[in-house]
Amino acid sequence: MTTSQLLINKVGYFFKSPYRERGELRNFVEKLKEISDVSVYGGMLRDILMSGNRSFTSDIDLVVSGIDGQCLNKFFLHYDAAKNKYGGYRACIGKWRVDVWLLENTWANKHNHISIQSMQDLTRATFFNWDAIVFNLNRSQLIASDNYFCDVSNRYLDINLAPNPNPLGNAIRAIRAGLKHRASISPSLVSFIYETISNVSDEDLISNEFSSHQSDRYLPYINLQDMRYNFYKHLESSNSNNFSFFPSLQYNLFEQMNCAK
């Protein structure tokens, strides 16, 4: 069985199974599918591919098409939801946090970075190459960028679309991926990280990570000045190779995290 088919099976099971308090989420998605074309986007698919269903606890991003904003507003009258930054809604469905927005309201489209006409176009709209994947729930169809599965398998992390609404957040996500998944970070992404964090204090980096990743924080356990210096030296050497954190740093990081628990 191919990697893509395994992922299709895992995601299909996730939304059909009532286990791990997914019954409410399943009902929510089925109702949304009745009025629109619904696709899972980005991070959830990446996390399930890399770590499986059991490890997934993050937010779920759903992009819908075939309806207008008025219809989506009417749908969410039945839920305790708030407007999100995409002009859609964020709701807690059972224990799961779900963001839903219209296809045309995707950030890269609204800010004229790329034209998004279909779910296929979403694979060009993510900052990271690891997020360039979409799963249509109505048709059980998986859409990914050309090198997606190869890049994830090789732990190669790169920029997919450079303009983004949260540079600092994405720089921190890249650092976390480098530490957690031993990612091989592309030179262009190393440059982005360094330029973004070079003038940000340690306290602000740690605070920003905590605001988005409260359950598994990494930055308090590493020497952030040394990290900046390593990025700087890598760039100064005109090194065209990818960047990876030293294995010893990763070992010390997880050892300190375990001691802190």
Q: What kind of fold does domain 3-151 have according to CATH?
A: Beta Polymerase; domain 2 (3.30.460)
Region of residue 20 (left: phi > 0; alpha: psi -120 to 50; beta: else): left
Residue-wise pLDDT tens digits, 178-214: 999 999 999 999 999 999 999 999 999 999 999 988 7
For every residue of 72-120, which 3-state class applies, written as one string? HHHHHHHCCEEECCCCCEEEEECCEEEEEEEHHHCHHHHCCCCCCCCHH
Output the average pLDDT for the chain: 92
Residue-wise pLDDT tens digits, 117-160: 999 999 999 999 999 999 999 999 999 999 999 999 999 999 99
The CA radius of gyration of the chain, in Å to the nearest whole number, is 19
Structural domain spans, the chain: 3-151, 166-260
Residue-wise pLDDT tens digits, 27-70: 999 999 999 999 999 899 999 999 999 889 889 999 999 999 99
49's tokens: 């591919």
Q: Mention every residue, 6+ apart, whose C-beta is less than 8 A from residue 66.
A: 36, 37
Q: Which residues of 5-34 are buried (b: 16+ CB within 10 A; e: fewer)?
A: eebbeebeebbeeeeeebeebbebbeebee
Report the predicted TM-score, pTM, of the whole model to 2 decimal places. 0.92
Q: Which residues pair with 99 in a beta bridge?
A: 61, 90
State residue 63's pLDDT score: 97
